[in-house]
Amino acid sequence: MSGAEAQVIPLHGPGREKPDPAAQADRDLRESEEAQEQLNQERGVDAPVVEFPGAARVSPARTRPADADLLPASLRTALGFLRDRLTGDYTVDEFGFDAELTETLLLPPLRALYEKWFRVDTFGVENLPADGGALLVSNHSGTLPLDALMTAVAVHDHVPGGRHLRGLGADLVFQVPLVGSFARKSGQTLACNADAERLLRKGELVGVWPEGFKGIGKPFSSRYKLQRFGRGGFVSAALRTGVPIIPVSVIGAEEIYPKMGDIKLLARVLGLPYFPVTPFFPLLGPLGAIPLPTKWSIEFGEPIRTDTYDADAVDDPMLVFTLTDQVRESIQQSLYKRLSQRKSVFKG
């Protein structure tokens, strides 16, 4: 090495200072904003759109296309139903009731029967509560329980808000494959006081048909003559929950399948309460299962209050019997009145 002294260059001398990170970030931000502003001016944009934190966001799955309103309402409903089924975005209550499935798949064909085939007239709709619980007690007839289904349509379509009738069905309904599943999904449950009281306390409209199989299976010669109403279990449920009892009378269902006989041996083999013989079934096979297009009327009577009784009134068997008989007599008198005004089975 030469004897010349080496020159020491300071690392942080003038012009070599270590840049301040905060100052550098501030300069980068200003340069970015200036570049964005210049770009907006070139594109003719007055100001950038800033999304505020926490602003509502629309899920892409829920975003409707611009031309969604051009689709028919029925098609939009069907598409919405399919979307909810695929995504699992629907609810089923503790009893298995699926309101969306009921309104989308089950009610439309029943409504067609209600409006076009049976041409149902309804009376006393003002007696149905718009909210809160009530027990609807109806006569039962027709060989097949179509009267219960038509009453459910009447309640849903005539009560503000589209309330659903939660029917109480016999054990056999839930033991039949497919039928039991659809019964649960449409809001039906087992005919027992425990389930009835739970539904009534939740403010539901509950339907009960105390005649049971004795009613829908009675012969044509006994049409519109009410059978026994059992031991008044429905009255006990109403007393415990303090809800009104609404008598319901149905005219027209007795004649849809005029029952002329019963093949008891076949009924036992199939595990049915009866195997009906009508003028068309089983002679015409499946065609004989088509109900006759009779003209129907459904009347909702004046409510019978139960909230005026003491809490221990449910333990009074005489009171339960008296109320049961009062409901039965109210329905029977309503049936006689409507029958006296009817001029034709098929025209009303």
Same domain, 208 and 283: no
pLDDT of residue 53: 46
Q: Residue 251 is part of which domain span?
A: 120-256+295-341
Q: What residue has token string 């550098």? A: 24
Same domain, 224 and 235: yes
Same domain, 282 and 188: no
Same domain, 171 and 277: no
**What does the pLDDT average to over 188-209?**
96
Q: Which amino acid is at 10?
A: P
Residue 322, domain CATH: 3.40.1130.10
Helix (H, G, I), strand (E, B) or coil at 149: helix
CA distances from 71 to 63, 64, 79, 87, 105 (A): 15, 11, 10, 22, 19
Tell me, yes or no, whether 17 lies in a domain.
no
Tell me, yes or no, whether 2 lies in a domain.
no
Query: In the chain, how many domains are there?
Result: 2
Same domain, 279 and 221: no
Same domain, 190 and 151: yes
Tell me, yes or no, whether 229 lies in a domain.
yes
Tell me, yes or no, whether 74 lies in a domain.
no
Given a cut of 60, is residue 102 above it in pLDDT? yes
**What does the pLDDT average to over 3-13?**
51
Tell me, yes or no, whether 131 lies in a domain.
yes
Provide the mean pLDDT of the chain.
86
Tell me, yes or no, whether 330 lies in a domain.
yes
Helix (H, G, I), strand (E, B) or coil at 121: strand
For 46, other C-beta atoms within 10 Å of its C-beta total: 6
CA distances from 44 to 37, 49, 91, 259 (A): 10, 14, 49, 82
pLDDT of residue 86: 87
**What does the pLDDT average to over 318-346?**
96
Residue 78: which pLDDT band, with cuts at 50, 70 and 90?
confident
